Amino acid sequence: MFTLPRRLAFASTAVVGALALGAIALAGPDFGQSVENQAKAHSMQNFGIVQPLESSSQTSIDAATANANPLKLATFAKQLTARVVAVVPSAPVIDMIALWPNDTNPEWLIACNEQGTAQVGLIRIRIADGLTQTIVSSGLQSCDPVHRTPWGTIVFGEEAGSAGRLFEMIDPLNTTGVVVNADLALRARQALLRGRRRPPERRRLLRR
């Protein structure tokens, strides 16, 4: 009594398998490989180099070698050159970096140092000469991320789970040596709530 259903099941499996193979065939070549091929074909137009690297580097170096020459941490196409902008001992765990004032002609790097609250949290590095200045000297827990906004400010935050805070900085080139207090977010929220409780006429006067 089970012979017919089993045959139907086998037939259904065969049909599904055939459809899946047909879909793969229609999809064409691997998308990632297609993108890689396009990058190679237009490498001069897009990147200014004749030939990109054939494969990812498998070279491994020790910390002493990296500290002596940070350029050894990367492998470059033959036509590319690089230089070390800065070595910053006070911020050894650089994470995200925002270009300032724009992406096309940046003059500064605004960088997160992902350490604890007792260490430097946010720095700026002048690309021309490597001058490094501390924006947030302490108080940030695992600074990450940092991002330049379309309206010309810097947003940075803490990678600290549900306790992480987010800040917006109006003037990143003239903000130096800031200490972030543990209750800063709480006091900001309390001030916001106080403003909402004021009578409408009082709020109008404050805006003026």
pLDDT tens digits, the chain, 208 residues: what are they? 445 455 444 444 444 444 454 544 455 678 888 888 888 888 888 888 888 888 888 888 998 998 899 999 888 888 888 999 999 999 999 999 999 999 999 999 999 999 999 999 999 999 999 999 999 999 999 999 999 999 999 999 999 998 899 999 999 999 999 999 876 555 555 555 555 555 555 444 444 4
Q: What is the pLDDT of residue 43?
A: 86
How far is residue 117's CA from residue 181's CA, in Å, rounded to a whole number?
10
Run of H or E residues at 188: helix 184-197
Of the candidates 130, 132, 134, the one whose C-alpha atom is nearest the C-alpha of residue 122 is: 134
Domain residue ranges in the chain:
89-192
C-alpha distances (whole Å) from 140 to each of 66, 119, 146, 189, 200 are 27, 8, 12, 18, 36
Complete edge-to-edge strand list for the sheet that includes strand 178-179: 94-100, 108-113, 122-126, 132-138, 178-179
89-192 folds as Thrombin, subunit H (2.40.10)
Measured distance CA(133)–CA(137) in Å, rounded: 10
Burial annotation 175-186 (CB, 10 A radius, 16+ → b, else e): beebebeeeeee
Beta bridge partners of 133: 124
The model's pTM: 0.68
Q: Match 């003037």 to its residue by tokens.
A: 171
